[in-house]
């Protein structure tokens, strides 16, 4: 059977049946059909029908958004030698590393006979038929003001810098220049975040939206990855956003927002610690709330960092005390700060019994949890705190603390958030005795 006939036969099969058939192909057939994207794509990765100008793929991590974007760009370039395509990412580095040279980027998905030439110094891709693509950074909205395009792929639009309205300005400038060809179109791919640009796109009529989660692409992801992600994130709010592709709206009046925490995140601590403190919010009883145990450090650069969430749920006093001791040993802590409202002597004796030899400071809460958290939230707003990693349960609790309104987040009590507040208060807000001049 000729290749064209075989291809037509496979394309006629429904998607699940087609995937089963593709898995039975021998090595030669798989190589012949490797670059026929419509064979391998899931329906939600293919352009939607209809007369749309904006196609938004709004899905969890690992869904296959990048592959869908790169394949759409390749198809646009192949169909029109006059195509002028904008590739826009949060930064130029991400545009190159993910959209162009990434494992699912434009270069990787292109067949050798139609591979684009990438000129990094010019930020330009050129295909053999003359079609071109230029790379842009959403950090520089003005760079999109003059150029004209026939197509655009905007990656991770929810990550675009929103300070000063940059994200919306970059999008608007792009649309104003989308005036080449008979039917200019733009594809936006992103993991959900409730930022102004994403909320605007979802509300605009005529935007074709495809939704999905990580599990939709399970056949192309390692089982270990899926298991690890579900174990780490579970059904936390962050897991629902990052894995299930659900848009999580911030609570009105929340002291922390998802966007604020993301702005304060780094993959690992970027400065050595000068001091390490463990905040502890003990439970009232063994079968009550969790024991909040959070490790934070003051870096040599003057910034505070959250290093670990070692909190324990349903633990006996002996067990959570051992958890505190283990965290102190692993992170070489200088001090433990523990709330003692539930019985200071008991908290101190339990921690001492767990062989905690470092200084222990007992603190008593005279205000509600949200009120105590407000000065710490202000540290985040001022850019003085970093999260060295991702802490789903802790971050869910932070986003549930409401200014003047108590707690409206997951669980009965923000024990992890309270432990974080004690640790960061010790590191950044503890009042120091200052000399005073007394007037006669």
Q: Does the structure show a pLDDT above 90 at 236?
A: no
The pTM of the full predicted model, rounded to 2 decimals, is 0.65
DSSP secondary structure letters along 326-370: HHHHHHT-SEEEEE-TTTHHHHHHHHHHTT--S-EEEE---S-HH
**Cα dihedral across residues 32, 36, 39, 40: positive or negative:** positive
Q: Sketch out the chain's domains with CATH numbers.
A: 41-223 (3.40.50.300), 258-429 (3.30.420.240)
Calculate the alpha carbon distances from 25 to 13, 30, 63, 197 in Å: 15, 6, 24, 43
Task: Classify 53 as helix, strand or coil.
Answer: coil
Distance (Å) of CA 108 to CA 44, 74, 289, 379: 21, 11, 50, 43
Q: How confident is the model at residue 1 (pLDDT cuts 50, 70, 90)?
A: low
Query: CA 345 to CA 323: how far, in whole Å?
Result: 19
What is the separation, in whole angstroms, between the first and last Cα of the chain?
A: 106
Burial of 172 (0-12, 13-18, 19+ CB in 10 A): middle
Distance in angstroms (rounded) separating the CA atoms of residues 371 and 365: 10
DSSP assignment of 234-251 equals TT-HHHHHHTT----PPP
pLDDT of 31 above 90: no
Q: Is the pLDDT at 13 greater than 80, yes or no?
A: no
| Nearest-angstrom CA–CA distance, 368 and 403 | 11
Q: Residue 246 is encoded by which pair of tokens?
A: 């659900």
Q: Kindly report which listed range (87-96, 143-152, 411-420) carries the lowest average pLDDT score.
A: 411-420
* H/E element, 224: helix 223-233
Picking from 214, 199, 208, 166, the residue whose alpha carbon sits closest to that of residue 65 is 214
Angle 418-422-425 (CA atoms, 0-180°, nearest 5)? 130
pLDDT one-digit tens code per residue, 322-345 = 899 899 999 999 999 988 866 555
pLDDT beyond 90 at 241? no
| pLDDT tens profile 285-306 | 656 678 999 999 999 999 999 9
Contact 364, 341 (CB under 8 A): yes
Phi/psi region, residue 138 (left: phi>0; alpha: psi -120 to 50; beta: rest), is: alpha
Q: Who wins on pLDDT, 372 or 8?
A: 372
pLDDT confidence tier of residue 439, bands split at 50, 70 and 90: very low
Q: 305 pairs with which residues across the strands?
A: 297, 386
pLDDT at 214: 85
Q: Tell me, what's the pLDDT at 346?
A: 67
DSSP H or E segment with residue 406: strand 406-407
Comparing CA positions, the residue from 209, 214, 141, 218 lying closest to residue 173 is: 141
**Among 401, 40, 95, 52, residue whose Cα is nearest residue 256:** 401
105, 107, 120, 148, 151 from 127: Cα distances, Å: 15, 10, 14, 18, 15
What pLDDT, in 10s, does the model give residues 137-196? 999 999 999 899 999 999 999 889 877 788 999 999 999 999 999 899 999 999 888 788
Rounded distance, CA 420 to CA 280, Å? 8
What is the dihedral angle through the alpha carbons of 251, 254, 257, 258, rounded to the nearest 10 degrees? -40
419 touches 259 (CB < 8 A): no
- What is d(CA 294, CA 281) in angstroms, rounded to the nearest whole number? 9
Q: Which of 101, 12, 102, 36 is nearest to 64 (CA)?
A: 102
């Amino acid at each position: 059977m000729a290749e064209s006939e075989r291809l037509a036969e496979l394309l006629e099969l429904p998607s699940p049946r087609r995937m089963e058939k593709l898995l039975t192909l021998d090595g030669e057939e798989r190589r012949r059909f490797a670059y026929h994207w419509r064979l391998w794509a899931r329906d939600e990765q293919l352009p939607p029908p209809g007369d749309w100008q904006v196609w938004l793929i709004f899905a969890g991590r690992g869904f296959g958004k990048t592959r869908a974007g790169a394949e759409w760009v390749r198809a646009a370039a192949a169909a029109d030698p006059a195509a002028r395509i904008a590739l826009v990412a949060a930064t130029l580095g991400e545009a190159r590393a993910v959209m162009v040279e990434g494992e699912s980027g434009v270069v990787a998905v292109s067949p050798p006979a139609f591979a684009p030439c990438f000129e990094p110094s010019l930020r330009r891709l050129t295909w053999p038929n003359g079609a071109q693509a230029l790379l842009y950074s959403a950090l520089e909205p003005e760079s999109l003001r003059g150029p004209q395009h026939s197509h655009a792929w905007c990656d991770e639009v929810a990550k675009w810098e929103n300070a000063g309205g940059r994200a919306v300005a970059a999008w608007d400038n792009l649309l104003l220049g989308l005036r080449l060809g008979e039917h200019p179109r733009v594809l936006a791919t992103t993991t959900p975040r409730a930022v102004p640009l994403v909320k605007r796109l979802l509300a605009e009529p005529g935007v074709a939206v495809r939704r999905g989660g990580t599990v939709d692409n399970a056949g192309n992801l390692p089982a270990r990855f899926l298991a690890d992600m579900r174990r780490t994130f579970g059904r936390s709010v962050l897991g629902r956003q990052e894995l299930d592709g659900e848009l999580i709206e911030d609570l009105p009046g929340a002291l922390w927002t998802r966007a604020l925490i993301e702005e304060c995140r780094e993959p690992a601590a970027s400065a050595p610690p000068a001091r390490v403190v463990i905040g502890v919010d003990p439970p009232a009883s063994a079968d009550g709330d969790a024991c909040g145990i959070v490790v934070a450090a003051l870096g040599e650069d003057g910034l505070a960092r959250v290093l670990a969430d070692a909190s324990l749920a349903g633990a006996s006093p002996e067990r959570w005390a051992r958890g505190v001791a283990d965290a102190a040993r692993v992170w070489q802590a200088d001090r433990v700060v523990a709330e003692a409202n539930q019985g200071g002597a008991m908290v101190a004796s339990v921690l001492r019994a767990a062989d905690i030899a470092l200084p222990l400071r007992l603190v008593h809460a005279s205000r509600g949890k949200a009120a105590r958290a407000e000065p710490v939230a202000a540290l985040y707003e001022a850019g003085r705190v970093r999260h060295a990693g991702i802490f789903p349960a802790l971050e869910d609790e932070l986003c549930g603390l409401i200014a003047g309104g108590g707690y409206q987040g997951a669980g009965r009590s923000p024990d992890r958030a309270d432990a974080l507040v004690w640790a960061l208060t010790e590191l950044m807000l503890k009042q120091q005795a200052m000399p005073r001049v007394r007037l006669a």
